[in-house]
Structure 1
């Protein structure tokens, strides 16, 4: 995923009301920008740290700037815009970066499925291979050298795991894909200390036949791409 023009840099002041972030532009001006991350952003908020934002030319937007990247005190990059995770996954599948998901003839996004009225992030289909349901989750939480998901209790994430289990029971392939948008994360595991119910359900899904994989992203002001497989600890 290439960005032209490149993201612009600024300094973080604070994030508040979930969707708003105050920053200081490089010329010293303080402005409010949109935060495209509804999660807790645990261990992703570092006041006075460097951040990067994109600019929209849509005149209907109240806030034309969108927070895209953050930098940790250790210099690691974090992808703040979780809305890009599905597009990153799609690009990587089409480019055959995610080898586990190669060999399908069609790809569709946001397809309704399951008994709990969900929408699968990516549905892969092939006449010979059948269907593969891919649920995408963005992973940005790093604690004591370990990457975790989720960063807050997620009943929605629990529902998605139940739906994936159901697809396996119906004879389909189901995959949970963690898109790792933090350059300091070397492996991913369930955050049982944050959401024990999700961790238990993830283990249940694995035992039921749901495939659980992770891929790490390279992150810069000009491009964000999934580049390599990342171990998942189960």
Structure 2
């Protein structure tokens, strides 16, 4: 995925009210950017950190920039825009980077289930392939020594998604949870049991029931971002 238009570099002054961040641009101007991440962003919002923003020309926007990337405390690049994960997965499916799903010729995004909730990706049944549901979660939490974890804050919504995937498996469907790793320092993924034990327990039950878990690492740059390789996943 190309960054279009080109990103604008600055320095983080502070993140506040969850969705706002003040940034000093290279010309000295201070702007307020939208922060598209509802999590704790542990290690990803240090004061003075180098950040990259995407500009908007929409006159209806209250903030002219969106915060996309940061140079974390570890020195690694991190994409903090969690909604980018789905677009990256969509692109990776098209280029057959995600080998475990490479045989599906088509898929739909934001598919509404009979229950009324939505799933990130839906793969229709094919001749030799079962119907498949997939949820995507962005990983930005780095716990040191290459260990990544999800979530970085208690998330009832994430637990609900895991439970829905388990229900799908119990009803005879295939279900996949894919962790899109948006932190360049992460080399493995596991549930953050110490942060959200309920989520970790739900995921353990789901895996035991047959939910598949994948993790894929993104390669980040100032020009583009893309998923490039699978990473190991482990339960606590």
**Runs of 5+ consecutive residues of structure 2 not aligned to the other structure:** none
* 1:194-233 Cα distance to aligned partner (Å, 9 max, x none): 0001001111111100000100001111101000001101
Does residue 26 of structure 2 align to residue 26 of structure 1? yes
CA distance in 1, matches of 2:53, 2:155: 27
Paired residue for 2:211?
210
SS in 1 for 2:83: helix
Paired residue for 1:113?
113
TM value normalised by structure 1: 0.96
Relative to structure 2, which stretch is displaced further, 65-74 or 188-197? 65-74
TM value normalised by structure 2: 0.96
CA distance in 1, matches of 2:4, 2:118: 31
Paired residue for 1:198?
199
Runs of 4+ displaced beyond 2 Å: none
The structural deviation recorded for 1:114 is: 5.8
Taking only aligned residues, the RMSD between alpha carbons, in angstroms, comes to 1.1
Does residue 148 of structure 2 align to residue 147 of structure 1? yes
Paired residue for 2:184?
183
CA contact (8 A) 2:135 2:177 kept: yes
Paired residue for 1:173?
174
Corresponding pairs, count: 233
Mapping of 1:47-58 within 5 angstroms? 47-58=47-58
CA contact (8 A) 2:44 2:73 kept: no
CA contact (8 A) 2:109 2:122 kept: yes
Mapping of 1:1-234 within 5 angstroms? 1-113=1-113, 115=115, 117-128=116-127, 129-145=129-145, 146-234=147-235
CA contact (8 A) 1:106 1:126 kept: no
SS in 1 for 2:124: strand
